[in-house]
Structure 1
């Protein structure tokens, strides 16, 4: 684990790490369920799998639907989600000071997400981060996505930083696996959605229980 004071860059997952997007994702699913005559989803159940992506959200909200039907509904679900325009999505409390602190110290930061670019970029813009994010690697930027290390390595190349001096912060096991395989230090964001998992069991170099805890460790006085 590198000393955070020696880090050249910090990479973040997006949904469940930087921002709480579950309200919009669940609302879009509720609209889809209404369209197809299905019972409304349980928001708490669906929220737990938000970091796992659209298919996982549909499987959670539409139990018993087979995979061909999930694939059939995915594009409509993503369209409904995009139409909401991130209306209820917001940064987690305390994230803004973390990003501002990195910027003040000249530490580059970027986003590595499995969310497709045509959804991820508008979300960053909505959050006021579009021009501040030094590297965005989305789920369709490369042929492979997390947990493959390629997106993390690509972000490091974009930032011209050494993976060994980079931190990757995420709220899903795939984030930790991708960062570890890429050679970065990894931090599990225990405030996120977690996909029902235990972040202490993921093998991350560090588990941050909260955004303030991450801030205190990452940006010591």
Structure 2
């Protein structure tokens, strides 16, 4: 694959939740723990899964939005602490890489294409989670939501990752499943790939996000990367 300057793509940057890892079951368990503490009904997986990329606040709003608003946000820190404490202690109980991720990362490594992770998950939780999955062991550049003063949709975390990898932003692809991922990638000058297999809710309108490519499975990224002539014209 080559960019508009006809230079080979040097790196692929990935979002984490909903792109590399299916973290929704453990995030949903944390939400339901908070529901239990506050005598609220448990939230079924089909309801919380599409919002798993929205972080603790997005998930808590599924149940507690009115309470948070009524308290003028004063309730939110307590809810977040309860959520994050449970999640910290149960972070990899049910979380699994998406089918094909291990093979995708191995193929990128074989092709000498660098890889980084850029997520809005707090970096401490990210570093706690990743060692559970040996397929990520070779990924040295990881940027979390609090690594910099700003997080996605700001392009700065992506640009920081590219700098750490020693590559130009225009030689990178960014892959993610949320609108903020595509916005960040576009603003960083990177080609963008929407992971449509991730956490996309019925209210989302991904066709309006402006991603350069859409993949339904991780393996399709390799197909994109291998079609050099078409990509040279379209990137």
Structure possessing the higher radius of gyration over alpha carbons = 2
Q: How far is 1:207 from its partner?
A: 1.1
Name the SS of the counterpart of 1:169 in structure 2. strand
Q: Which residue of 2 aligns with 1:2?
A: 3
Matches within 5 A, 1:51-70: 51-66=53-68, 67-70=73-76
Q: Number of paired residues?
A: 221
Name the SS of the counterpart of 2:134 in structure 1. coil
Name the SS of the counterpart of 1:148 in structure 2. coil
**Cα 1:195–1:113, aligned 2, differ >3 Å: closer, same or farther?**
farther
CA distance in 1, matches of 2:81, 2:200: 24
Matches within 5 A, 1:92-111: 92-111=98-117
Q: Which residue of 2 aligns with 1:25?
A: 27
For structure 2, the 5+ residue unaligned runs are 229-235
Name the SS of the counterpart of 1:62 in structure 2. helix
Q: Which residue of 1 aligns with 2:180?
A: 174
RMSD across aligned C-alpha pairs, in angstroms?
A: 1.9
Could you state the TM-score of these two structures normalised by the residue count of structure 2? 0.88
Counterpart pick for 2:214 among 207, 211, 216: 207
Q: How far is 1:22 from its partner?
A: 0.4
Could you state the TM-score of these two structures normalised by the residue count of structure 1? 0.93
Stretch deviating more after TM superposition (67-76 or 91-100) = 67-76
For structure 1, the 5+ residue unaligned runs are none
Q: Which residue of 2 aligns with 1:78?
A: 84
Q: How far is 1:143 from its partner?
A: 0.1
Q: Which residue of 2 aligns with 1:164?
A: 170
